């Protein structure tokens, strides 16, 4: 039984990093006309209210998207991401936050496809209803995204992005992410993979970036954003990272441009910082 609901965290600093990276990756992958397939193995509900329900309880978005909303000095890849959030808030007031499926579909072209997996039954239903009109381009599966990934790789077009964004609610998620990346690379070695990971005072979380680097078997880029000092007593997210395998050309330049600005904009204390490592074989 899954208890994690992404609504509690929608629009927080981790979503901002993840979705800025997602938009930048998609833009670069769509520079060529050839169709791409985007697979979102852990899709969530697709859209979240920031005024009612889960997101309003802890209001994590106040330390995330809300800090960028009024800024006029955004680096262009961040402005591109903000534009996608503005589509969900046409009157200019920040009331809704789009999840990764909505953001991806907002950018995809008619020739592209979106494959969504969501295991939580309620979230899966919300997602399926939301994309019911987009059946030609979007397929929603209520089920395990780790298992489902095997069946959809490689895509026919041999071009695409796999977003792996589990909640890490289960300790087994840390192992499953590595297995999914290794298996995915065997089936679709030229694909781009984006794995979100938490910065937490927990052994599995601390070890995960190194394990991802060893599992990649191709060029990678690892970017992590720490928004505050780790709490001395352990629990709590002090930041997050995105591990990218086969990053598209020019992506690294964009991340170099984004991160200093983002680390300042989302800083919660003087320990805010970022780490960026690139491996090109």
Ligand X SMILES: C[S@@+](CC[C@H](N)C(=O)[O-])C[C@H]1O[C@@H](n2cnc3c(N)ncnc32)[C@H](O)[C@@H]1O
Residue 145 binds ligand X (CB under 6 A): yes
Residue 146 binds ligand X (CB under 6 A): yes
Among 61, 81, 117, 131, binds ligand X (CB under 6 A): 117
Choice between 44 and 191, CB closer to ligand X? 44
Residue 119 binds ligand X (CB under 6 A): yes
Among 30, 39, 107, 118, binds ligand X (CB under 6 A): 118
Residues numbered 239-278 forming contacts with ligand X, rule: CB under 6 A: none
Residue 193 binds ligand X (CB under 6 A): no
Catalytic residue among 15, 40, 165, 173: 165
How many helices (H) and strands (E) the chain has is answered by 10, 10
Residues numbered 218-237 forming contacts with ligand X, rule: CB under 6 A: none
Q: What's the order of all strands across the beta sheet hosting 37-40?
A: 138-142, 113-118, 37-40, 160-164, 192-199, 239-245, 220-226, 273-279
Residue 2 binds ligand X (CB under 6 A): yes
Among 21, 65, 88, 123, binds ligand X (CB under 6 A): 123
Residue 61 binds ligand X (CB under 6 A): no
Rounded to a whole number of angstroms, the minimum distance from the CB of residue 3 to ligand X is 9
Tell me if residue 165 is catalytic. yes
Token reading at 120? 């939580």
Residue 115 binds ligand X (CB under 6 A): no
CA gap 2, 230 in Å, rounded: 26
The string over 153-189, giving b where at least 16 C-beta atoms fall within 10 Å of a residue's C-beta and e elsewhere, is: bbbeeebbbbbbbbbbeeeebbebbbebbeebbeebe
Residues numbered 74-113 forming contacts with ligand X, rule: CB under 6 A: 99-100
Q: Which residues, in sequence order, are CB contacts of 207 under 8 Å at separation 6+?
A: none
Query: Interface with ligand X by CB under 6 A: which range of 53-61, 115-123, 177-185, 264-272?
Result: 115-123
Token reading at 270? 């003087």
Token reading at 264? 């300042």
The closest of 172, 82, 154, 85 to 115, measured between CA atoms, is 154
Residue 60 binds ligand X (CB under 6 A): no
CA gap 163, 102 in Å, rounded: 13
Choice between 44 and 155, CB closer to ligand X? 44
Residue 120 binds ligand X (CB under 6 A): yes
Q: Which residues, in sequence order, are CB contacts of 234 under 8 Å at separation 6+?
A: 201, 202
Rounded to a whole number of angstroms, the minimum distance from the CB of residue 72 to ligand X is 26
3-state secondary structure of 187: helix
Residue 78 carries which DSSP code? H
Choice between 15 and 222, CB closer to ligand X? 15
Residue 6 binds ligand X (CB under 6 A): yes
Catalytic residues: 165
Could you list the residues that contact ligand X (CB under 6 A)?
Answer: 2, 4, 6, 18, 40-44, 99-100, 117-120, 123, 144-146, 165-167
């Amino acid at each position: 039984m899954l208890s994690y609901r992404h609504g509690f965290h929608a629009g927080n600093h981790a979503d901002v990093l993840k979705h800025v990276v997602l938009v930048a990756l998609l833009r670069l992958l769509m520079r060529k006309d050839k169709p791409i397939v985007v697979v979102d193995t852990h899709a969530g509900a697709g859209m979240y209210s920031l005024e009612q329900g889960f997101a309003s309880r802890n209001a994590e978005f106040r330390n995330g998207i809300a800090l960028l909303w009024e800024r006029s000095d955004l680096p262009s890849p961040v402005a591109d991401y903000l534009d996608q959030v503005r589509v969900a808030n046409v009157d200019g007031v920040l009331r809704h936050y789009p999840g990764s499926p909505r953001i991806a579909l907002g950018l995809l072209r008619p020739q592209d496809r979106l494959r969504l997996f969501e295991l939580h039954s309620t979230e899966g239903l919300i997602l399926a209803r939301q994309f019911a009109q987009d059946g030609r381009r979007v397929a929603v599966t209520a089920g395990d995204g780790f298992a489902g990934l095997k069946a959809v790789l490689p895509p026919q077009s041999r071009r695409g992005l796999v977003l792996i964004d589990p909640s890490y609610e289960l300790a087994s998620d840390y192992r499953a992410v590595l297995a999914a990346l290794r298996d995915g690379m065997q089936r679709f070695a030229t694909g781009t993979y984006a794995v979100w990971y938490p910065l937490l005072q927990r052994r599995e979380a601390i070890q995960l970036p190194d394990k991802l680097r060893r599992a990649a078997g191709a060029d990678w880029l690892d970017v992590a954003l720490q928004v505050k000092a780790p709490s001395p007593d352990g629990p709590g997210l002090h930041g997050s990272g995105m591990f990218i395998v086969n990053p598209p050309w020019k992506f690294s330049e964009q991340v170099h441009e984004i991160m200093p600005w983002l680390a300042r904009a989302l800083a919660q204390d003087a320990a805010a910082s970022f780490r960026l490592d690139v491996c090109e074989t």
